[in-house]
A and B are shown apart, each in its own frame.
Chain A
């Protein structure tokens, strides 16, 4: 057997600023040419493992380590981060932040420049590497001219120029739309095949990573490795469900139908499944048994209507073209589509941050054009993606109260409003706390509370669950669902297909500034043509239902979601 390229031996680590260790007794060997997925919930220590491998620990994040760690036969404690960077290349999560150069070519060349490689040689290497990741036609582009997926290609090329022996990807899917995420997984696979480097992917979105085969899955929880096994065996084990990781949807569906998940089933990919006739029968039987499930909501009156809306940031480009749709009271709607399709622009127009070139936006039949941002905010609230972009007061109470201060309310009225809002958001027990003591999900609630306090009719959320693991995702979404049940109308801009399916009956899909579809979420994902144009990704449920001979995949998806919702409620109740 070859020497492992990375080897942890009873390794433990404690950050200098932390009271207790983050990693405990890690034993992990990664061999040349292997492809390993390190999965786990937020705070499980998976990113810390990544930082140990690439040398950010102890170089940028000092702390105490125990046990042994070998990277390419070297001890990171004794080597510089530069030596390690020639063994392990790291692609970070933030596609934009890690783009250092002013253009693609410069960014790819960055490591070579630091190595003092002569310019002629450097240009050649850049050219070759860019070809490898298919970005060679964009060498003179600036980062803002590229999509998220393209930026990721650049980052990948930027570490590949070093001819590293291992590639480390830290949550590569977090900032990408579904289709771009899929392409990324394919690209990683190709690059590995061509270079033979070991690949380590840190990600909690299991099903998305498994789009291309992975040799081994390492599951982490609370700083320990709780599972380290071949993909097939891992999926046949139900262990992962206890650790905030979501199993692939097709496997959940099979389990609901009573099909046992075994290694013989080849569970690693929906296309590799070896379903026996008996299994298919079970799935069909489950489908028929749950016929009554599915959503039917009564039609409420129209709240927001957008009519023939067009807009462009500059006069020669139209970012939105003739958009019309309406939202009814009490609805929960997803807005989906490729990065840059105009989703956020639409939200900005509705909130009045930008003025439309033509068309109208009406709330309860009244045109909003003359209203200022502040006036609109009384009725339409906007929550940004990252809570840190909104929180501007150190104390929770002040943060929530902020929007009321400008309104000329009495102190008593304000107190009542803030208290009510904090109760709705489940933050009342924390009302005297500083914001900094909260988790990411709780901070998100604070920002939502800061909007709700103005008692808007509609809340627009930009990517409410981006970068969240399954546990936090569920926490945020159940909270939003609760708000929706209390009568708030909710519009979400999202890349998350699960979110759209599970929580929003209706979806509006955009593509290059045009409204592509306004229909049920299940329909969007079961229409292959639509999926392609909006840069989405069909669910594995679609593939599974086809494989089982169910002629209406959309109904299958709807029943699955309804069943799962009922299942979740049973578990909670």
Chain B
């Protein structure tokens, strides 16, 4: 089997033991705060809390290294483009301008711009590990019921669950089809021109789509035959009751939101400005 870059990693840890609902609530709260705030103090504190959670979860950097690597590349590009398009954005935000040196033309490096980049980077470093942790520590079986518990319609929630169920099947199918098509002279390696490669990928996608449509028909028939969608609500085999630790975690999430937002907006701006 192909190595999956990111999936549920079964371990014994307090983070794993929390219910899916708790983790989902925590993850959402965390994401909102770190997306909204540009307050360096808040971000640094969250980073510290995040590091502790990561440690407790018994998930190692190595487990999620592939995705972390991708995230790092993305972050780098993100920073690069921000600088390329808006080299003076930091100056605008922090309403001061301390030039450190000039690269060429309008591309001056200012302390304000660097500080802005630092905040962007902190935000990503705050969110990404927690997001990965959420996926790595939550039993996929609990996703759907967790979504339902926070008020998402169970039909939508179940769509997530079904995707998790069938993605590996579709991946396997893709591999089989692509191997068989390669044997018929369809080359997907980098040797051909881009246009040829695009054309060739159709040779795999068409059969894959046909077989997926067929799969969808089978699944939806099977679900209807077993009464999916009969009632407004449904119960969940894998749902667990919230216990003390769950409430503590939810309380922590609430505290992070409250404190983070208060500190952030104390002076009326999302940004913490050390330059004034």
Contacts and interface: CB of A to CB of B under 8 A. Distances in A.
Interface of A: 54-56, 59-60, 80-82, 85-86, 89-90, 92, 94, 96-103, 105-106, 109-119, 122-123, 126, 143-144, 158-159, 162, 313-314, 348, 351, 353, 373-374, 376-377, 381-382, 384, 386, 388-393, 402-407, 450-451, 454
A384 B211 CA distance: 13
Contacts of B222: 92, 97-98, 100
Interface in B1-51: 1
B226 A390 contact: no
Contact of B237 (A82, A98, A113): A113
A389 B207 contact: yes
Contacts of A405: 185
Contacts of B207: 388-392
Interface in B178-194: 179-187
Contacts of A162: 226-227
A245 B194 CA distance: 51
* Top-4 shortest CB links A-B: A406-B185, A97-B218, A109-B237, A98-B222
Contacts of A388: 207, 210-211, 214
A320 B252 CA distance: 52
22 contacts: A54-B225, A55-B225, A56-B221, A97-B215, A100-B219, A102-B141, A113-B234, A119-B239, A126-B237, A313-B1, A374-B182, A388-B207, A388-B210, A389-B211, A390-B177, A390-B180, A392-B204, A402-B184, A402-B203, A406-B187, A450-B184, A454-B184
B103 interface: no
Nearest to B3: A314
B100 interface: no
Contacts of A105: 237-238
Interface string B196-222: 000000111011001100110011111
Given A376-B183, A389-B176, A454-B184, A112 B235 contact: yes
Contacts of B181: 390, 392
Nearest to A92: B222
Nearest to B173: A389
B229 A114 contact: yes
A373 B204 contact: no
Interface stretch (B52-60, B82-90, B122-130, B162-170): B162-170
A116 B223 contact: no
Contacts of B223: 100, 110
Contacts of A116: 231, 233-235
Interface residues of B, number: 51
B37 to A, nearest CB: 36
Contacts of A114: 226-231, 234
Nearest to A109: B237
A110 B105 CA distance: 65
Contacts of A391: 206-207, 210
A41 to B, nearest CB: 21
Give the interface centre of A353, A405, A407 by most chain B CB atoms within 10 Å.
A353
B225 to A, nearest CB: 5
Contacts of B206: 391-392
A98 B230 contact: no
A373 B227 contact: no
B234 A392 contact: no
A106 B237 contact: yes
A152 B235 CA distance: 24
B contacts with A: majority SS = helix
A117 to B, nearest CB: 6
A365 to B, nearest CB: 22
A373 B182 contact: yes
Contacts, number: 166
Given A97-B215, A390-B207, A56 B233 contact: no
A410 to B, nearest CB: 16
Contact of B221 (A80, A92, A96, A377): A92
Given A96-B169, A382-B180, A111 B226 contact: yes
A136 to B, nearest CB: 15
A113 B179 contact: no
A101 B186 CA distance: 36
B108 interface: no
Contact of A115 (B173, B184, B231): B231
A374 B228 CA distance: 46
Given A122-B237, A351-B179, A391-B207, A56 B231 contact: no
B235 A92 contact: no
B257 to A, nearest CB: 30
A311 B128 CA distance: 38
B160 to A, nearest CB: 11
B161 interface: yes
Interface in B224-263: 224-231, 233-239
Contact of A101 (B165, B168, B182): B165
A389 B180 contact: yes
Contacts of A112: 235, 237
B219 A384 contact: no
A56 B225 contact: yes
Given A115-B231, A119-B235, A390-B180, A407 B162 contact: no
A100 B221 contact: no
A129 B201 CA distance: 45
Contact of B179 (A109, A119, A353): A353
A402 B235 contact: no
Contacts of B1: 313-314
B227 A374 contact: no
Given A102-B141, A389-B211, A402 B237 contact: no
A373 B179 contact: yes
A457 B168 CA distance: 34
Interface string B45-79: 00000000000000000000000000000000000
Given A106-B141, A374-B185, 20 more contacts: A56-B225, A60-B221, A80-B230, A85-B226, A92-B221, A105-B238, A110-B223, A113-B237, A114-B227, A122-B235, A126-B237, A353-B179, A353-B183, A384-B180, A389-B176, A390-B177, A392-B206, A402-B184, A402-B185, A406-B185
Contacts of B162: 100
Nearest to A391: B207
Nearest to A348: B179
A81 B225 contact: yes
Contact of B176 (A59, A89, A384): A384
Interface centre among B161, B185, B233, B238 (most CB of A within 10 A): B185
A59 B225 CA distance: 10
A91 to B, nearest CB: 9
